[in-house]
Structure 1
Amino acid sequence: MSPRVVLIHGIWMPATVMAWMAARLREAGFACETFSYHGVTRGPEEAVGRLREMLSAGPAHVLAHSLGGLVTLEALRGQPQIPVERVVCLGSPLRGSGAAHGMRQRPWAAAMLGQAADLLERGFERWPGPGELGSIAGTLPHGLGHVFGGFRDEHDGSVAVAETRLPGMADHAVIRASHSGMLFSPEAARLAIAFFREGRFL
């Protein structure tokens, strides 16, 4: 039986944006499912509940982009009975998003975050499990997030590399890709596959 991977998109994106990455995972022998949610209008709480149900169906890995990574960790935190083995986050601001913080200072921009604003800005202190966590960050600064984030160090246009590091994670990798570009990055796909197989970015 092929290992199961659940793919989760980021804010403002449709589930179909994960199709390219799903195709690479299938080529590597994984069975893929996509989870769709409305983070802005319905909020992460609704997504977290549905995701817990989906992940409880059987052993799985998770590949999540941006806000999808935060939704995943929120769903797994304090739920050791959920059989998720490994999670790979692509450009997720796991320590909290400086861009989200900046957007919340401007009412017209804050509205774009909707009900996802709190989780995006807060992030997490550390990762206690369940499941091994790997995070991939990008360093191609193409995106409008830096306008609000005021990044001083490397970033992918929306999320700083420092925001993707979380105490307790199993591994971290940095690639030359933008925030949305990593969804179509052969290197990101290779790293995710390695992590799902070995628990490390080989």
Structure 2
Amino acid sequence: MNARAGAREPVILVHGLWMPGFDMTLLRRRLQTQGYEGHVFRYASLRRTPRDNAVRLAAFAERFDTPLLHFVGHSLGGLVIRHLFDYQPQRPGRVVTLGTPHRPSHTAQLMYRAALLPLLGMSIDQGLIGGAPAWTGSHPLGSIAGTLGIGLGRLLPGLAKPNDGTVAAGETECPGMTDHLCLPVTHTGLLFSSTVAEQTATFLREGRFQHQGGNPPINANNGFACL
């Protein structure tokens, strides 16, 4: 799956909660410099459930008449992608999630208990507080976690360390994932870091991240550690 070997392979970027999609612009451009063709899928993160948005994502994906199709999701966007693969089989490709709480989000759970449901909307339905479809491993999935704990989570008690200020690194572990990587960036910073963009492109191309010291990919079934 080498985007540089011929025609550009399309990558669909799926934004997170509260975001309009413009936040994915820099990452999209950086992936394009790596030889990929980036396309942003915009959706109503509050008014529709992750499942409903996955159905719309499936229709969006059908626009691309290519043998390969990759997906990159930030935060809630990664859960929408999980729903997509549960809803409808996809053509070959790879998936990267950035700061996605594949396990129930502590921050979202606290907001829910504090009667801040309007701020979460329908994103909690089989989404941020748990219940997303299991990842079957049909496609390689790489998960990147941030470890620079600056953000909303600092105002809420009990968020495990390390974290990106919103999502704990442990929450980004997805059973069945291919590889996992921790980088010193914040939750929003995952979208603007050149290193994150480079590592995303590496996984899309090679099916694994470039670990410091040549560490092998980490199997989620055996656990992981943010070094």
Quickly name the TM-score band, shorter chain normalised. Answer: over 0.9
How many Å apart are 1:111 and its aligned residue? 1.4
Between 1:176-185 and 1:55-64, the stretch displaced more is: 55-64
User: Which protein has the larger Cα radius of gyration, Structure 1 or Structure 2?
Assistant: 2
Identity of matched residues, %: 40
Determine helix, strand or coil for the equivalent of 2:101: coil
TM-score after normalising by structure 2: 0.83
Deviations 1:28-59 (A, max 9, x none): 11111110001112232321111012224443
Mapped partners of 2:96, 2:171: distance in 1 = 15
Q: Would the alpha carbon gap of residues 123 and 21 (structure 1) be closer, same or farther in structure 2, given more than 3 Å must change?
A: farther
Q: Would the alpha carbon gap of residues 188 and 156 (structure 1) be closer, same or farther in structure 2, given more than 3 Å must change?
A: same
Between 1:17-26 and 1:126-135, the stretch displaced more is: 126-135
Determine helix, strand or coil for the equivalent of 2:166: coil
5+ residue gaps, structure 2: 1-6, 211-227
Task: Check whether the contact 1:98–1:149 (CA below 8 A) recurs between aligned residues.
Answer: no
Mapped partners of 2:69, 2:18: distance in 1 = 25
From 187, 196, 212, the equivalent of 1:188 is 196
Q: Which residue of 1 aligns with 2:163?
A: 155
Q: Which runs of 4+ in 1 moved over 4 A?
A: 123-126
Mapped partners of 1:201, 1:86: distance in 2 = 12
Q: Would the alpha carbon gap of residues 53 and 130 (structure 1) be closer, same or farther in structure 2, given more than 3 Å must change?
A: farther
Task: Check whether the contact 1:55–1:84 (CA below 8 A) recurs between aligned residues.
Answer: no
Deviations 1:100-146 (A, max 9, x none): 11111011x22100111231100547421331110000011111134
Mapped partners of 1:152, 1:160: distance in 2 = 6
Determine helix, strand or coil for the equivalent of 2:159: coil
Deviations 1:130-184 (A, max 9, x none): 3111000001111113433621321000000000011210000000000001100
Q: Would the alpha carbon gap of residues 152 and 46 (structure 1) be closer, same or farther in structure 2, given more than 3 Å must change?
A: closer
Deviations 1:44-90 (A, max 9, x none): 2321111012224443111110000000111112533x115111000
Number of aligned positions between the proteins: 200
Mapped partners of 1:90, 1:48: distance in 2 = 17
Task: Check whether the contact 1:89–1:136 (CA below 8 A) recurs between aligned residues.
Answer: yes
Between 1:70-79 and 1:21-30, the stretch displaced more is: 70-79
Determine helix, strand or coil for the equivalent of 2:93: strand
Task: Check whether the contact 2:96–2:142 (CA below 8 A) recurs between aligned residues.
Answer: yes
Task: Check whether the contact 2:104–2:130 (CA below 8 A) recurs between aligned residues.
Answer: yes
Mapped partners of 2:195, 2:157: distance in 1 = 26
Task: Check whether the contact 2:21–2:42 (CA below 8 A) recurs between aligned residues.
Answer: yes
Which structure shows the higher helix fraction?
1
Task: Check whether the contact 1:136–1:175 (CA below 8 A) recurs between aligned residues.
Answer: yes
